[in-house]
């Protein structure tokens, strides 16, 4: 059995007038993330980690922000397509370990729904999707509530 590890990172700016999508679910918040798609930083970081683990470039290569078909797209669709892309090389997801950095909204209560949603999209068990949330203690762009970032490590196997 071949085992590979990947790392992903994404960040998006918080702005008024957009829905906030994180981990495949919509959260109530006065701001949302700015991007070509729904700007779900967690899903984007997962896609990058999976593609990197399979040595298949990155999310921007497969889903460019210059392509009209990805304008305002639900990032769960990108994740499902990423699973199909890595499967062309015989890979499947072993597990995901993710950290979301956001000052607000508080995410603890939403993590189980994120785990269930992402596990369903990837066709894996919820126990294989670890999501943690942290703040930056009011430091930097996250602390000033200018944006949200996500860091993800994945394990894939053949």
Every domain of the chain and the residues it spans: 3-157
With CA atoms as reference, report the closest residue to 133 among 158, 154, 156, 103: 103
Q: Consult the annotation and say whether 110 binds a ligand.
A: no
Give the sign of the dihedral formed by CA 114, CA 116, CA 119, CA 125.
Answer: positive
Q: Consult the annotation and say whether 146 binds a ligand.
A: no
Q: Consult the annotation and say whether 48 binds a ligand.
A: no
The CATH T-level fold of domain 3-157 is 60s Ribosomal Protein L30; Chain: A; (3.30.1330)
Q: Consult the annotation and say whether 44 binds a ligand.
A: yes
Q: Consult the annotation and say whether 12 binds a ligand.
A: yes
Q: Consult the annotation and say whether 84 binds a ligand.
A: no
- How is residue 73 written in tokens? 């797209």
Q: Consult the annotation and say whether 137 binds a ligand.
A: yes
Place of tokens 């006065």: 30
Q: Consult the annotation and say whether 32 binds a ligand.
A: no
Q: What is the pTM of this model?
A: 0.97
Note whether 157 and 6 are within 8 A (CB): no
Q: Consult the annotation and say whether 58 binds a ligand.
A: yes
pLDDT along the chain (158 residues), means of 10: 97 98 98 97 98 97 92 96 98 98 97 98 98 97 98 98
Q: Consult the annotation and say whether 97 binds a ligand.
A: no
Q: Consult the annotation and say whether 11 binds a ligand.
A: yes
């Amino acid at each position: 059995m071949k085992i590979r590890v990947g790392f992903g990172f994404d960040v998006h700016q918080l702005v008024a007038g957009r829905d906030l999508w994180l981990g495949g679910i919509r959260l109530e918040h006065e701001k949302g993330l700015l991007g070509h798609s729904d700007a779900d930083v967690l899903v984007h970081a997962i896609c990058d980690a999976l593609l990197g683990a399979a040595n298949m470039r990155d999310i921007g290569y497969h889903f460019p922000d210059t392509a009209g078909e990805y304008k305002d797209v639900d990032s769960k669709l990108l994740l499902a397509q990423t699973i199909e892309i890595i499967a062309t090389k015989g890979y499947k997801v072993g597990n995901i370990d993710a950290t979301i950095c956001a000052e607000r909204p508080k995410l603890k209560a939403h993590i189980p729904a994120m785990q269930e949603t992402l596990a369903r999209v990837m066709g894996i068990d919820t126990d294989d999707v670890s999501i943690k949330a942290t703040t930056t203690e009011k430091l930097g762009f996250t602390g000033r509530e200018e944006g949200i970032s996500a860091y993800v490590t994945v394990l894939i196997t053949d």
